[in-house]
A and B are shown apart, each in its own frame.
Chain A
Amino acid sequence: MYARNLSAKPGRPELILRGITLFYLGVMILLPMAALAIQAAQPGAQAFWEALRDPLAWHSIQLTFTTAFLMVLINAVTGTATAWVLVRYEFPGKGLMNALIDLPFAIPTVVTGVMLVALYGPNSTVGTVLGQYGWGVIYQKPGVVLALLFVTYPFVIRSVQPVLMELDRAEEEAASTLGASSWTTFRRVTLPALFPSILTGSALSFSRALGEFGSVVMVAGNHPLLTKTAPLYIFGEIESGNRHGALVVSAVLLISSLAVLLALNLVQRRWEGDHDA
């Protein structure tokens, strides 16, 4: 179980434990990923490209990226503002709000979808009123963005909040004593200190949004070229028997998500390096 620091070589129990865990991770995570990657690539680069160029496939990928990007822009601003308000101010209901912030992480994504349909759906009061003005939420793009905003709501807040709590306010005070306006102080002193955590929260929410399915499928309905995001496209192609089309878009999603997380990891390491220096 424990490799002794003093004894150079791990004993048999340590090796057995290591073997079991590595085997589990290999069979449960690496093997399925390898199977997916190989099957997606097997028919060749030409076929891969063809499947990607399918108008429905390409549109679903574009839609996924644009909605995720829009969500990140909104969440970066509102998340930072929310963290700021929770850390710096006292107000009635703050305790309840702080407790409910993580609810989107705990609540099943399908239930999120049901909630949004119950509120904005065609049969709901709000949905009817909005519909009279020609504003559709459910089965429209705004519904997709709304679902993504809900499921990723806590990421930026929970990433910025601890940094803001640790932040030394002496620097902000020094800046404004020296005559900086409050906006300048925020922009030049506070924001740079918060930037890494805002970026971390944004990257995590972007990666999550690329793959979101449960909430989106409930609010998107079945409208190709309108609300069909990449995960919905993949599911549709599995159902209709186009395994290769599903695999190709899956590979694109997987690579994009991994690239975002890897880039974040590299950037974080550089920041840590700067911090140590």
Chain B
Amino acid sequence: MTPDLEIRLPAEMMRTDAGSAEVGRSKTIGQWLLIGAVVGWFSLLVFIPLLALARRVLAGGCTPFLNALQEPEVRRAFGMTLGITALATVVNTIIGIAIALVLTRQRFRGRALVDGVVDLPFAVSPIVAGLMLVVLYGPSGWIGQWLEPRGLRVVYAVPGMILATLFVTIPFVVREVVPVLQELGDEFEQAAYTLGASRWQTFWSVTLPSIRWGIMYGVTLTIARSLGEFGAVLVVSGNVIGHTQTATLYIHEGVESFHPEGAYAASVVLAAISFLLLVGMDWIRKHLEFREGSSS
């Protein structure tokens, strides 16, 4: 009965002909065909390009790879990326927890609207996000024309790159912490408060320990996105070569230059970091399992 369903489905979905007469025999073949097709598609799309990159970089052995990473330009770019990532992660984690608390523990008019605003950065193309910041903070922008005469450069400088990274990563911690706070309810917080704990004590010793895995998941997503942010940062960085380059900007510029080794090597490093973050996310998710299904 059920196995029967499993045979024909693959055949139909892959738009191949499966004779309904030989259901009994073609059963496993149909299943394996579907599995093969799915694994093949995954390999073609994700796995093989990954291997191609690794091969391209490591073809000449480890030494050229390590040498390419030693170049001052590469090191400076990674330093910049790590600095911006650290700052954006700290700021958006603290504010993200605050936003999640306000959204789940406070009742006020327009709360649903605020909830929607938090998700807006997901709907914005990175390039458009960068353009927004240029329009606002550029030399003739609403805020820029006021800051510029005071010697504060935002756009085409590091502050703009930080703002761009902050913009694209705002939703992550909020979106991971809100469902955990909702699931948790506020009974324990109420109890602690009734027993005489201050608000700060309540947060620090009751709320925070219960939402820590949610926070960690959000932080991991924030780090991954900050490390990889490109479009928004590209627009606000202008074309100042050298001191305002992040790792992704360096890769973009380097791949098409005459000396792409550094860019390829940097790509491998970023891909490896993403993979480690993914492993970390998998591990964190196991601790979050109780709220599976409540998301999406």
Residues of A participating in the B interface, judged by any CB pair closer than 8 Å: 1-6, 10, 13-14, 17-18, 20-22, 24-25, 28-33, 35-36, 39, 77-78, 80-82, 84-86, 88-89, 91, 93, 97, 99-112, 114-119, 124, 126, 146, 149-150, 153, 159, 162, 166, 169, 172-173, 176-177, 181-183, 185-186, 190, 197, 200, 207, 210-214, 217-218, 230-231, 234-235, 238, 243, 246-247, 250, 253-254, 257-258, 261
Q: B118 — nearest CB in chain A belongs to which residue?
A: A25
Q: Which residue on chain A has the smallest CB distance to residue B140?
A: A243
Within 8 A of A (CB), among B1-38: 1-2, 4-10, 12-14, 20, 31, 34-35, 37-38
Contact B267 A114 (CB under 8 A): yes
Question: Do B228 and A109 touch across chains, with their CB atoms under 8 A apart?
Answer: yes
B42 lies within 8 A of A3 (CB) = no
CB pair B98–A185 under 8 Å, yes or no, is no
Say yes or no: B248 contacts A110, CB within 8 Å: yes
- Interface residues in B188-211 (C-beta closer than 8 Å to A): 189-190, 193, 199-200, 202-203
Task: Decide if B288 is an interface residue (CB 8 Å cutoff).
Answer: no
| Of A89, A117, A231, the contact of B125 (CB 8 Å cutoff) | A231
Number of interface residues of B (CB under 8 A): 101
CB neighbours (8 Å) of A110 from chain B are 228, 230, 248, 251-252, 267
| Known A18-B102, A115-B53; contact A182-B8, beta-carbon cutoff 8 A | yes
Chain A interface SS verdict (over half) = helix
Q: B128 near A: Cβ within 8 Å?
A: yes
Known A82-B42, A246-B131, A261-B123; contact A103-B234, beta-carbon cutoff 8 A: no
Q: In the complex, what residue of chain B is closest to A217 when comparing beta carbons?
A: B252
- Bound-state Cα–Cα, A231 to B235, Å: 11
Contact A111 to B1, CB < 8 A, known contacts A106-B278, A186-B8? no
Report if B52 contacts A (CB, 8 A): yes
B residues in contact with A89, CB < 8 Å: 31, 35
Cβ of B270 to closest chain A Cβ, rounded Å: 5
B284 interfacial contact with A, CB 8 Å: no
Whether B248 and A108, one on each chain, are in contact in the complex, defined by CB atoms closer than 8 angstroms, is yes
Contact with A along B269-289 (1 / 0, CB 8 A): 011001101110110000000
